[in-house]
Amino acid sequence: MGKKYEVLAKTLLKCELFEGFDKFQLETMLECFGARLYSYNKGDFIVMAGDKYNGLGVIVEGSAIITKENAAGNRVMLGVMSAGEIFGEVIAFSGKEVWPANVQAQSACQAIFIENNAIINQCSEACSFHAQLIKNLLKTVSNRAIMLNRRVEYLSMKSINSKIACLLLEHMERARSNTFRLPMNRNEMADFLNISRPSMSREMGVMRDSGIIEFQKEAVRILKVDKLKEMVNE
Range of weakest confidence among 53-62, 83-92, 113-122: 113-122
Average pLDDT rounded to a whole number, residues 218-226: 91
- Res. 221: pLDDT tops 90: yes
Specify the pLDDT at position 103.
Answer: 93
28 within 8 A of 123, measured Cβ to Cβ: no
111 within 8 A of 36, measured Cβ to Cβ: no
What are the C-alpha distances in Å from 54 to residues 47, 103, 195, 205? 9, 13, 33, 43
pLDDT band at 121 (very low <50, low <70, confident <90, very high): low
**3-class DSSP assignment, residue 63:** strand
Domains of the chain (ranges, CATH numbers): 3-154 (2.60.120.10), 158-232 (1.10.10.10)
d(CA 111, CA 64): 10
- pTM of the predicted protein model: 0.67
Average pLDDT rounded to a whole number, residues 49-53: 89
Range of weakest confidence among 45-54, 78-87, 138-147: 138-147
Residue 231: how many CA atoms within 13 Å on its side-chain side? 24
Residues in Cβ contact with 78 at an 8 Å cutoff, skipping those fewer than 6 apart: 66, 67, 68, 101, 151, 192
Specify the pLDDT at position 1.
Answer: 43
